């Protein structure tokens, strides 16, 4: 498996082993409200300034990816972050901008039957979701790290290769526990945007290396997309 973004950002955020201070625990309890903290991630993707790749591809979104929820147990309550809709919308919008056509397919093996011009089928997977809060670091910072893998298949369904890329986002809470939920939500959105930017910028070179497109393929300016609120 090849890394699209080796050593550029930490692929996983590790929490310190030391026990959280009393103040940190109190802040986290205030954030959680002694129960579960739940929110849905929002897609924040800027207009991609990229060169469009002149091929037709298929996109297979699994039910797991589309409906994905990250759950984590913390002192004082659980945290649930629904990321499925945001990451699905973001991935589809990016591929639509990156290629001449990006066609949704019900399975990785049905690309050839759906469109004879299809060069390959891509399937995104969220491999890791990790975050830290002020109680972990003793600061006001909330930070999120997302590690994605994109599997590439031939239109007939054979796996060609896989790429991984990591997105990172951080947001301060201004020291107020009540701002923890929106700060964590914002950090998640920024991590998704960072991951999407890396995919859009670096994918063309990876596609050339793997023979999906020729090095001399003509460049086509991608249409500009408005950010999603």
Asked whether residue 220 is domain-assigned, the answer is no
**Per-residue pLDDT tens digits for 136-168:** 888 888 999 999 999 999 888 999 888 888 999
Q: Quick check: is 8 in a domain?
A: no
- H/E segment holding residue 166: strand 159-172
Does a structural domain hold residue 4?
no
Q: Considering the domain boundaries, does residue 118 fall inside one?
A: yes
Domain that holds residue 91: 22-213
User: Cα–Cα distance between 42 and 186 in angstroms, integer?
Assistant: 8
Choose between 214 and 120: higher pLDDT: 120
For residue 228, pLDDT beyond 70: no
At residue 202, the pLDDT reads 77
Classify residue 16: in a domain, yes or no: no
**pLDDT exceeds cutoff 70 at 126:** yes
Q: Burial, 2: exposed, middle or buried (Cβ in 10 Å; 0-12, 13-18, 19+)?
A: exposed
pLDDT of 61 > 90? The answer is yes
Q: What is the CATH number of the domain that holds 165?
A: 3.30.160.150
CA distances from 4 to 63, 163, 221 (A): 25, 6, 22
Determine, yes or no, domain membership for 184: yes
Residue 173 lies in a domain: yes
Whether 82 maps to a domain, the answer reads yes
Least confident span in 19-33, 81-95, 134-148, 199-213:
19-33
Banded model confidence at residue 3, pLDDT cuts 50, 70, 90? very low
CA geometry: angle at 137 spanning 149 and 21, to 5°? Answer: 135
pLDDT digits (tens, 9 = 90+) for 209-219: 566 655 554 44
- Band (84; pLDDT cuts 50, 70, 90): very high
Reported confidence tier of residue 29, pLDDT bands at 50, 70, 90: very low
pLDDT for the residue numbered 100 = 86
Could you tell me which of 55, 45, 128 has the C-alpha nearest to residue 90? 45
pLDDT, position 49: 66
Number of domains in the chain: 1
Euclidean distance between CA atoms 1 and 117, whole angstroms: 26
pLDDT category, 124, cuts 50, 70, 90?
A: very high
């Amino acid at each position: 498996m090849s890394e699209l973004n080796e050593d550029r950002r930490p692929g996983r955020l590790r929490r310190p082993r030391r026990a959280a201070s009393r103040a940190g625990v109190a802040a986290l309890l205030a954030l959680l409200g002694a129960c579960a903290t739940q929110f849905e991630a929002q897609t924040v993707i800027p207009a991609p300034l990229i060169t469009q790749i002149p091929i037709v591809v298929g996109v297979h979104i699994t039910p797991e990816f589309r409906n994905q929820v990250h759950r984590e147990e913390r002192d004082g309550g659980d945290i649930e972050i629904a990321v499925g809709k945001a990451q699905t919308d973001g991935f589809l919008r990016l591929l639509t901008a990156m290629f001449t056509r990006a066609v949704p397919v019900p399975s990785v093996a049905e690309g050839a039957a759906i469109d004879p011009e299809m060069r390959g089928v891509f399937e995104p997977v969220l491999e890791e979701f990790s975050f830290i809060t002020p109680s972990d670091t003793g600061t006001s910072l909330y930070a999120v790290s997302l590690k994605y893998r994109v599997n590439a298949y031939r239109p007939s369904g054979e796996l060609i290769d896989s790429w991984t890329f990591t997105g990172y986002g951080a947001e301060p809470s201004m020291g107020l526990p009540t701002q923890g939920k929106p700060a964590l939500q914002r950090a998640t959105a920024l991590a998704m945007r960072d991951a999407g930017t890396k995919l859009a910028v670096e994918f063309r070179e990876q596609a050339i290396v793997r023979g999906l497109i020729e090095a001399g393929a003509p460049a086509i300016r991608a249409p500009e997309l408005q950010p999603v609120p």
